[in-house]
A = this chain, B = another copy of it.
Amino acid sequence: MVKYKWIAEEIRKQIRAGFYPSESRLPDQETLAKQYNTSRMTIKKALDLLSSAGIIYTIQGSGSYVKRDAVELANRTIHIGQNVGLTTATGADHQLSAKVLQFSVRFPSETEAELLRLERHEPVYEIERLRILDDKPHSLEYTLFPVALVPNLTEEVLHKSIYRYIREELKLEFGESRQTVRASMPSRDDKEHLLCADDDPVLEVEKINYLENGTPLEYSRVHHRHDMVEMHFVNRRGPMAGVE
């Protein structure tokens, strides 16, 4: 663990423990630098981390301050890439499950090949799953993975976590993902599997996940019942803000 990340962790722990209360000012960077026996630049990098995690904010000429919901945030660990979070009414007393409707291998269509940056002769897995909460279906999920990137995918794995398999077994690093969200009318499949009425809208999410180097890893299209799923986003000010 590098120094500035370690220092960020330490400060976060202290915030979590209430040593630096909500809305209070942190010691100035010079003081922190001495305290952690390091240089000011390193402290700055640590504070930047906490700042972009939404735990503190800084005002030039004034100081760095603990945000009012920081304690809650510091605990929540905001698993990143999940600042886009999908919430159903998940809780302790709810039962989440999934049913694999289809698992097969085929060649991609022209559009799919383009999106996943494949040749037409490179096969993909095609997976269709129904997400169920307390016996009520809420999402219909359609997913493609290039076979070359995720070899030996089995139905076994599908029932656990595909992502854990990809990260821990295949040791691939995730990069960015792009999503498009729209409202649409229910398709025939939606009516069949999600039990939508003719005028029940669905929330459609189209997503491409990329690896760290930009290689497309996954294409998915998910239809959610509008009365069971909504999406939450937290947007922090980007580092490029104000550049243009």
- Assembly of this chain: how many copies? 2
Interfacial chain B residues near A82, Cβ < 8 Å: 235
* In contact, B198 and A199 (Cβ under 8 angstroms): yes
- A81-B238, A201-B201, A238-B81 given as contacts; is B182 within 8 A of A231 (CB)? yes
Interfacial chain B residues near A180, Cβ < 8 Å: 230-233
- A57-B175, A212-B57 given as contacts; is B226 within 8 A of A182 (CB)? yes
* In contact, A241 and B80 (Cβ under 8 angstroms): yes
* In contact, A238 and B69 (Cβ under 8 angstroms): no
Stretch at the interface among A26-34, A45-53, A133-141, A144-152: A45-53
A174 within 8 A of B: yes
Interfacial chain B residues near A67, Cβ < 8 Å: 213-214
Bound form: Cα–Cα A45–B226 in Å: 43
Q: Give, as a whole number of angstroms, the nearest-CB distance from A3 to chain B.
A: 13
- A182-B231, A185-B201, A199-B199 given as contacts; is B213 within 8 A of A59 (CB)? yes
* In contact, A226 and B201 (Cβ under 8 angstroms): yes
What per-residue 1/0 map shows which CB atoms of A48-70 lie under 8 Å from chain B?
Answer: 11001110010100000101110
User: Nearest 8 CB-CB pairs, A to B?
Assistant: A201-B201, A80-B238, A183-B183, A182-B230, A183-B226, A183-B203, A199-B199, A183-B201
